[in-house]
Amino acid sequence: MKLDRAIRLYALAVLANLLVFSSVALYLGGDAINGYAKTGHYFLCLYGKCHEVSVTLYRYSLWHALSVILSFALLLLLLGVQRWCANKQGVPRDRREASGH
């Protein structure tokens, strides 16, 4: 089914985005979701340690973190819609249902 393939490819893209985000956060020493901005200073934090960064880097980290969160939310929605459509069509959920065990 073309939709199944598209969802699998999207899931791989979501996973790749998460891996890139995690790698960049480790390299930078934190991310903006765990960091903070205070009086014109911007900090990325990881495991309780914070590092001051430029506003540009802080915004990049914030937008990348939001893209990870939103892409996962969309993936969950797509998987739910896919399952709902399969149930409406009477497609078995797994092999046990298909074989009658």
Q: What is the pLDDT of residues 51-100, one digit of tens each?
A: 999 999 999 999 999 999 999 999 999 999 888 888 887 766 665 455 55
In a domain, 47, yes or no: yes
Range of the domain at 20: 12-92
In a domain, 100, yes or no: no
Residues near 58 by beta carbon (within 8 Å), at least 6 away in sequence: 32, 35, 37, 42, 43, 44
In a domain, 62, yes or no: yes
Structural domain count, the chain:
1
Supply the mean pLDDT for the chain: 90
* Cα 35 from Cα 42, distance rounded (Å): 8
Residues near 98 by beta carbon (within 8 Å), at least 6 away in sequence: 92
In a domain, 1, yes or no: no
In a domain, 22, yes or no: yes
Residue type, 50: C
In a domain, 77, yes or no: yes
